[in-house]
Amino acid sequence: MSFVARYGPWALITGASEGTGAEFALLLAGEGLNLILIARREGPLAELATRVRSAGAEVVTASVDLSANDAAVQVAQAAGAREVGLFIANAGADTNSALFLDTDVESWEKLVTLNILTTMRNCHHFGQGMRGRKRGGMILVGSGSCYGGLYGLPVYCGVKAFDLTFGEGLWAEMRDYNVDVLNLILGRTNTPAHRRISEANGRPFDPSAMASAADVARVGLEQLPHGPIYNWGQSNDVAGMAPNSPDERRARILRIKEMSGKYLKASA
């Protein structure tokens, strides 16, 4: 099955205006997919849309605050009746840059909505069509912070841990319908957002020590059929930053699925 036949004709990307989101869009346009690009800032989004159209793809854009309670509704409205065969949840950075008690709880609630509720709702909405068509894919762009709590990042680590285990469970359910799900777990990546956050907090920013956004997008698409996890820069049989390797986690999930299948009946 060709890439377009498997994941097309439309791909929807959240957090699409720059960095890895923009690189995903350009690569997918080159593969022949049309794009629905979602981001908060209209200017960079419009600039990217022009670049993607020059590659021959149809483009729909929508300015959406993905931390808003109705964000998933707005995303679904932007997609309309278009057949979305690939969903990439690329938004989710922590811009609070504060200790937990040093900022208002509403800011943390927005981070939870952005990373958990909006992502879950989008997967549910677009996953319905993918399951019905028995093809498609989802990429949840995550962070190595998902593997344990860190000083200064308790909420961020928590939401990324949810995304990781949610993505693993979703992979186990959707693989029966020929739908691929991948947690793309990143380390330090050279993106404009990363640079802005680092500079705002007086932290050094050395692109030479980071992954490039273009490489991340390319490898993410290559790894999509091999979910549920890919840890950036590591082979799938190596634990690296995690307690166990992606291969070991996959085997565990499949064992549990086999046992659970005796008691749970999946929808047709």
Q: What is the pLDDT of residue 262?
A: 62
Reply yes or no on whether 265 is catalytic. no
**Catalytic one among 147, 160, 177, 263?**
160
Q: What is the pLDDT of residue 263?
A: 65
pLDDT in tens, 129-145: 999 999 999 999 999 99
pLDDT in tens, 35-70: 999 999 999 999 999 999 999 999 999 999 999 999
Return the residue matching tokens 């800011």. 107
- Give the helix ranges, DSSP H, for the chain: 3-7, 19-30, 42-54, 71-79, 105-112, 118-133, 154-174, 192-200, 213-223, 246-260
Q: What is the pLDDT of residue 210?
A: 85
Q: What is the pLDDT of residue 193?
A: 73
- All residues at 6 or more sequence positions from 208 whose CB lies less than 8 Å from its CB, including other chains: none
Q: What is the pLDDT of residue 208?
A: 77
Range 3-260 has CATH code 3.30.70.20: no
Q: What is the pLDDT of residue 200?
A: 67
Residue ranges of domains in the chain: 3-260
Q: Which tokens hold the place of 50?
A: 């022009």
Reply yes or no on whether 160 is catalytic. yes
**Catalytic one among 7, 156, 230, 262?**
156
Residues of the chain with pLDDT under 70: 194, 199-201, 262-268
